Amino acid sequence: MMMKPASEYPSADGLWTGLRLAPDAALGVTLDAGVEAAIVVMQGEIRWVGAGSALPVEFAGLAQHDGGGALVTPGLVDCHTHLVYGGQRANEFAMRLAGATYEEVAKAGGGIVSSVRATREADEDTLFAQAAPRLEQLLADGVCAIEIKSGYGLSLEHERKQLRVARRLGEAYGVTVRTTFLGAHALPPEYAGRSGDYIDLVCREMLPALAAEGLVDAVDVFCERIAFSLEETEQVFKAAKALGRPVKLHAEQLSDMGGAALAARYGALSCDHIEHLSADGIEAMRRSGTVAVLLPGAYYTLRDTHLPPIEALRAAGVPMAVSTDHNPGTSPTLSLLLMVNMACTLFRLTVPEALAGVTRHAARALGLQDTHGAIALGMPANFVLWSVRDAAELAYWFGQRPVHAVVRQGRIAVENAA
Ligand code: NIG
Ligand code: FE
């Protein structure tokens, strides 16, 4: 598969008719089931959305795009990925099948550090060429905005290379890319035993330089016993705050480090993974409006059995997003729709919750709630036409891609035969 460059996508301007809005609050608009919907796109923006029968007369003469009865949702948002890296780690899959844990693989020289080696060896064009087909698969699933983290370079030069590739991918495919600096993902081998020195480098040199180059939309840390401590995490958060960058956190994935409460104190956009999130962590996230990002692909790959506290998050009203966590170690999936299925099947989210998790709440986890995750007046036109009858089918047909068409940033980026 090789998609056309963004400059060749046709404009989506005009009147989209014959649509059915998925009947839940994930969409920014609600219509009674069975009511035919229409969307007006002008200059790439949503100008009107509602029941076709209520279309204002001023729009009636616009060029028409017949949706043919397709179900429509906002464009999907994949709010947590490590999409740019060298190599792959299928060998670790085999090691884990033979009984090794994620932590044992990491300690044996595999894990994140083995992707660091391969990423450092690859030049920018090679990384771009390897990441592009991955991005194309996510886009074919209806993704219209995506977060891409660094974290496999672990030096100024190589983190820069990853983030530059992320920016180039956004330009090449006309997709919104949010870059997250994850310099504190793992300790690079040359800093073995000198974690404090490496965190100093991250805070004093890498982050300021990359932020000045416009490569850092947010800052993330892997806070875990096999990665960085709570104190080190706070140092990075302070550096991010000094530069005015929002923070996120890989929090409580393997153990309860108290990372979520710390992140909430820094007004984090999101805490991600959170299988071991405590009641205090949930309360802190509720107060700070931090999004809980659920990553069922990593949970599944690691054969984890410690479920994130879904019921308590739901009861507290903490918004829950769902993402691929695409990465070569713990979640090599390239389908956000498959994560919708897993969020329902493994984590017991309802279908409306899971769909909100890959639209509205995922947008908020990136600070993009004003431009993505809903079909709403004045937003750039990002929506997906699905060839299904019922919204539940988006969770049900796991492993399939029932996309009929994708309107991304006001352009028809994908159009499949009916
Ligand atoms: O989100 N948890 C840490 N980072 C990644 C895994 C990265 C890797 O194993 O390469 C994650 O699961
Ligand atoms: Fe991750």
For the segment 328-387, what is each residue's pLDDT rounded down to a tens digit? 999 999 999 999 999 999 999 999 999 999 999 999 999 999 999 999 999 999 999 999
Q: Report yes or no: 213 and 160 within 8 Å, Cβ to Cβ.
A: yes
User: Residue 366: what are its φ and ψ, rounded to 5°?
Assistant: -110, 5
**Angle subtended by helix axes 124-140 and 156-173, to nearest 10:** 40
Kind of pairing between the strands at 383-386 and 270-273: unpaired
CA distances from 247 to 44, 193, 216 (A): 30, 26, 11
148 vs 187: CA distance, rounded Å:
20
Residue 70, both tokens: 């397709």
Q: How far is the CA of 102 from the centre of ligand 1 (A)?
A: 10
253 lines ligand 1 (CB under 6 A): yes
Q: Which of 116, 272, 275, 97 is nearest to 186 (CA)?
A: 116
112 lines ligand 1 (CB under 6 A): yes
327 lines ligand 1 (CB under 6 A): yes
192 vs 380: CA distance, rounded Å:
46
320, β-bridge pairs = 292
Q: How far is the CA of 113 from the centre of ligand 2 (A)?
A: 14
Instruction: Classify 247 as helix, strand or coil.
Output: strand
Q: How far is the CA of 250 from the centre of ligand 2 (A)?
A: 6
Q: Which of 79, 85, 222 has most ligand 1 atoms within 8 Å of its beta carbon, as the pocket-test mutant? A: 222
The residue whose C-alpha atom lies closest to atom 1 belonging to ligand 1 is 325
The CA-CA-CA angle for residues 24, 322, 129, to 5°, reads 120
Q: How far is the CA of 201 from the centre of ligand 1 (A)?
A: 21
Q: Which of 414, 407, 390 is nearest to 74 (CA)?
A: 407
Closest ligand 1 atom to Cα of 115 = 10
Task: Spell out the per-residue pLDDT of the chain, length 418, in tens.
Answer: 457 778 789 999 999 999 998 765 445 566 666 789 999 999 999 999 998 999 999 999 999 999 999 999 999 999 999 999 999 999 998 898 999 988 888 888 889 999 999 999 999 999 999 999 999 999 999 999 999 999 999 999 999 999 999 999 999 999 999 999 999 999 999 999 999 999 999 999 999 999 999 999 999 999 999 899 999 999 999 999 999 999 999 999 999 999 999 999 999 999 999 999 999 999 999 999 999 999 999 999 999 999 999 999 999 999 999 999 999 999 999 999 999 999 999 999 999 999 999 999 999 999 999 999 999 999 999 999 999 988 999 999 999 999 999 999 999 999 987 6
222 lines ligand 1 (CB under 6 A): yes
329 lines ligand 1 (CB under 6 A): yes
Instruction: Classify 70 as helix, strand or coil.
Output: strand
Q: How far is the CA of 117 from the centre of ligand 1 (A)?
A: 15
380 lines ligand 1 (CB under 6 A): no
Q: How far is the CA of 218 from the centre of ligand 2 (A)?
A: 14
pTM of this prediction?
0.97
| Cβ neighbours of residue 201 closer than 8 Å, sequence gap 6 or more | 191
Q: Report yes or no: 299 and 274 within 8 Å, Cβ to Cβ.
A: no
Q: Which of 78, 81, 82 has most ligand 1 atoms within 8 Å of its beta carbon, as the pocket-test mutant? A: 82
